[in-house]
Copies of this chain bind each other. A is one copy, B any other.
Amino acid sequence: MLTTHPFDDDKLREECGVFGIAGIDDAAAMVALGLHALQHRGQEAAGITCRNGKEFYSHRALGPVAGNFDSEEIINRLRGDSACGHVRYSTTGAGTLRNVQPLEADLASGGFAIAHNGNISNALALRDELVRHGSIFQSTSDTEVIIHLVATSKYRTLLDKFIDALKQVEGAYSLICMTAEGMIACRDPLGIRPLVMGRIGEAYVFASETVALDLVGAEYVRSVEPGELIVVTNGELRSHRPFPNNQARPCIFEHVYFSRPDSIVDGSSVYSVRKGIGAQLAIESPVDADYVIPVPDSGTPAALGFSEQSGIPFELGIIRSHYVGRTFIQPGDGVRHLGVKLKHNANRPLVNGKKIVLVDDSIVRGTTSLKIVQMMREAGAAEVHMRIASPPTMHSCFYGVNTPKREKLLAARKSIEEMREFIQADSLAFVSIDGLYRAAGEDTRHDLQPQYCDACFTGAYPTVLTDRDGEEETDQLTMLNERSDSSGTARDHEPSGDLPRLKQSAN
């Protein structure tokens, strides 16, 4: 089955987006809009929970926000002045509605709902312990351990119970919680996943990305900071910092692909960073060609940067179908080979006889890249050069991003030359890890204490991974040693970025 799914099978996928608003009429309608703006972060399922007085009301659905949350009937059932919501990639199969967030529970203190972007890396261990003491889980979601830790905490206030719970979990989490009394937004100590705060009138808004603020008409205030816990009660906001200080390690892949180009992530314009990566690529790996052609849509900003830096004209050599929101399941065996064409079509009259540079954001399995190169050749391209606006993706993510198993990652199995051969390009180059950091506004990567989580490129995981102990140990050790320079130039081995992680695990 080949699809025109906007989550291309050959991309990494952000697993979630979260949105919350406190202190406004029709809060749920605002959340529906906010989730629609975050739809690119997960379209398999969505949910909204709102609070009206002490009562919580929820609606969850498999599928996208549009069509599920835009009817008067649904929104009218979700009355209240506070609401939070969640979009989710991933879960498949029957009965998965139980895993759709926000998760919700009736605690002794009243209702409690939680929407989570990220991944708890010791969820299994915590779950076993909780079940042994009589907790009954409703879902298979890692997020549910947080609720049970809160429910069974011996502390007295809900805030203390919540902090008690967070101190027991490892991994990545940007959370928006709704309690009987207010809303809590927080970000894990390393700030791996993004979370921003905005205002609209008297109301506070929290969202994974600023585009969601734009759509609801909220003003962007600032990012929630790594390790920060913000409580909104009766229109008042308090910031807590319950964790020891830590160097932040936000995910750099948000800049490469996950976030929308019109978002501001941790202070930087994603569009500018992407253009900068394209320019870096043109500097690091120039090529003689007639046209720079983006692989739409995610490769477009980097292609513009490459074109500007190199002076090679930018042209639309690949036309993307307008109907990418719909999955087309190809019927019949006879047409199985068509593949990527359902989504992209070559602009034949333009490409024919020309030397072209294709610019894409990343290579995961490489199957799409191969098909696009072939499509260009079939359309008559004389030379096809591929430039990738990220270093080779060599490691799985355990922080809320769906990555194929390592052995499926093309870069984990092949050298750059072998990859070039696989995708049948005339040349292939990736931006260097330092080039990437430079485009993100850093002078260079500080290898001892990297400014970002770049584990997918370097294997330098910033936290312990309890649930994967044993199973992944050899693999991780390997990772520590294999940090390779993605620009293709060999580099000396140096102290890896995961040392701080060992320290963090001692907290």
A→B interface (CB under 8 Å): 4, 6, 25-26, 28-30, 32-33, 36-37, 39-40, 43, 58, 64-67, 69-72, 74-75, 77, 94-95, 105-108, 131-138, 147-148, 151-153, 211, 214-217, 260-262, 264, 269, 271-272, 297, 300-301, 304, 308, 313-316, 319, 321-335, 338, 341-342, 345-350
Contact = CB atoms under 8 A, between A and B. Distances in A.
A299 B203 CA distance: 37
Contacts of A94: 77
A255 to B, nearest CB: 13
Chain A to chain B: the 7 pairs with minimum beta-carbon distance, closest first: A325-B325, A29-B332, A134-B152, A75-B331, A269-B349, A66-B326, A66-B328
A74 B329 CA distance: 12
Given A215-B342, A331-B75, A131 B147 contact: no
Given A66-B328, A331-B72, A349-B272, A322 B6 contact: yes
Contacts of A321: 36-37, 39
Given A39-B323, A66-B327, A75-B332, A346 B214 contact: yes
A437 to B, nearest CB: 20
A103 to B, nearest CB: 10
Contacts of A37: 321, 345
Given A308-B313, A325-B322, A105 B136 contact: yes
Contacts of A330: 29, 33, 70
Nearest to A63: B326
A335 B26 contact: yes
Contacts of A329: 66, 70-71
Contacts of A29: 330-332, 334-335
Contact of A216 (B74, B313, B328, B335): B335
Contacts of A132: 108
9 contacts: A40-B323, A66-B328, A70-B331, A72-B332, A108-B132, A134-B134, A134-B151, A271-B316, A325-B325
B30 A335 contact: yes
A214 B348 contact: yes
A348 B262 contact: yes
Q: Pick from A25, A69, A136, A138 the residue with the most CB of B within 10 Å.
A: A136
Q: Find the residue from A4, A70, A151, A264 having the highest chain B CB count within 10 A.
A: A70
* Residue in A69, A264, A269, A347 with the greatest tally of chain B CB atoms within 10 Å: A347
